[in-house]
Amino acid sequence: MAGGRQFRRDAFSLWLEAPLVIAMRCQEMGFAAMTGSTQNTTEMTRMVTEKMAAATESVVAANFALAKAMMTASPPERTARAVTEAALKPYGKRVRSNVRRLAKKKS
C-alpha cells in the first residue's frame, strides 16, 4: 500500500497548492490591471501553454500506463491506480514549480 500512500500525498499536495498558484496569479493580474501594466501578458501566456502541455502529457502518460497494465495483465485496482498516478503527475510537477517560481517572484 505504499504506492497508495504516495498517491494520496501527491493528490493532497496538488489540492493544496493549485489554489495557491491561482491566488498568486490573480493577485499579479489584479496589480497589472490597476497599474495599466502589460508585463502580465507573459504570465497569462505561460498559464495557457502550461495547461495545454500538462493536459497533453497527462493523456500520453495515462495511455502508456493503461497499455502497460494491459500487457502485463494487472488487476483492475492496480491498473486504475497506475493510470490515475500517471495522469496526475504532470499537473503536480507544474503546480509545484509554479508555487516555487511565483513565491520567489513575490519576495
Q: Read out DSSP for the chain?
A: -HHHHHHHHHHHHHHHHHHHHHHHHHHHHHHHHHHT--TTHHHHHHHHHHHHHHHHHHHHHHHHHHHHHHHTT--HHHHHHHHHHHHHHHHHHHHHHHHHHHHHHH-
**Predicted structure pTM score:** 0.78
Q: Residue 20 has what pLDDT?
A: 93
* Tens-digit pLDDT string for the chain (107 aa): 446 777 888 888 899 999 999 999 888 888 888 887 776 788 888 889 999 999 999 999 999 999 999 999 889 989 999 999 999 999 999 999 999 998 887 66
Does residue 58 contact residue 90 with C-beta atoms inside 8 Å?
A: yes
Nearest 5°: CA angle at 84, between 83 and 86?
A: 65
